[in-house]
Amino acid sequence: MNNDIMNLQLWQIGAAYVFIAILLVIVRKRGIGREREILIASIRMTLQLVLVGYVLVYIFESTNPLMTILAVGVMEAFAIDNIFKRTKEKLTGKIKKIIAFSMLTGTLTSILYFLFVVIRIYPWFNPQYFIPIAGMIIGNSMTGITLGVKGIAEGMRNQRALVESSLMLGATPARASREIVNSAFDSAILPTINSMVGMGIVSLPGMMTGQILSGTSPLIATKYQIAIMLGIVGSVALSVILFVILGYRTFFNHQDQLIQMDN
């Protein structure tokens, strides 16, 4: 297999922006009014990726364990902050702590197991494996918890009467909110399950595509993709279940009464 990597020149990258121009023309003609958001998103994406590229070059060349740990820590912090920002619900300090705890526990457990047991990288802080794999696991878990927060909050609001009726009949908060918790968990993991269903036939995943483009054998790339997808599933499941089983309790007071929520 040819391992020569085709490097893209600046003019080739610039030529790819024609797709943004097409999108701008479409939204302009249709009167959708998204031009400013599209331009900002395009510029922000470009600057962020260029910055990350230079940072990763430095980290890969330094092979310093502290740099690898710092990079993963920054990713975790940004992911948690992004959950707070993407959630339209009003978050209390307690539920924010639960989100952070669930995110950190679920992702770090999955990352460490995947790297030390499944891949068995050496040295343990090898940024070539540690950072990309951590990024995929953290990113997917962030989406899962965001959906979990939305599901729990909406369920408690929309089914308030049902929950309160169950409480009056003697049910515990756990029993009264069981269906809401299960529904929130199901909604949060569904995108991950759906991505597994179409993987390989409908689309080639990003990690697999990147490896193939870099000259890796498709069979080796397939093995890595299967392994990382299973790691992502485990991380999303663990992070979300931790959040929903701990997070639902924040909607009840110390007397096991459902707290009034803002509409």
Q: List, for residues 4-30, the tens digit of each pLDDT value.
A: 667 788 899 999 999 999 999 999 998
pLDDT at 208: 75
More confident residue, 153 or 215: 153
Amino acid (one-letter) located at 252: F
Residue with tokens 């009464």: 257
Least reliable range by pLDDT among 80-94, 172-186, 202-216: 202-216
Whether the CB-CB separation of 192 and 198 falls below 8 Å is answered with no
pLDDT range class, residue 263, cuts 50, 70, 90: low
Q: Which tens digit of pLDDT belongs to each residue from 202-249?
A: 666 777 777 777 777 888 888 888 899 999 999 999 999 999 999 999
Instruction: Tell me whether residue 216 is exposed, middle or buried, using C-beta atoms within 10 angstroms of its C-beta: 0 to 12, 13 to 18, 19 or more.
Output: middle
pLDDT at 196: 86
Separation between Cα atoms, residue 132 and residue 231, nearest integer Å? 13
Whether the CB-CB separation of 86 and 146 falls below 8 Å is answered with yes
Write the CA distances from 12 to 15, 16, 38, 52, integer angstroms. 5, 7, 21, 20
Q: Name the average pLDDT for the chain.
A: 90
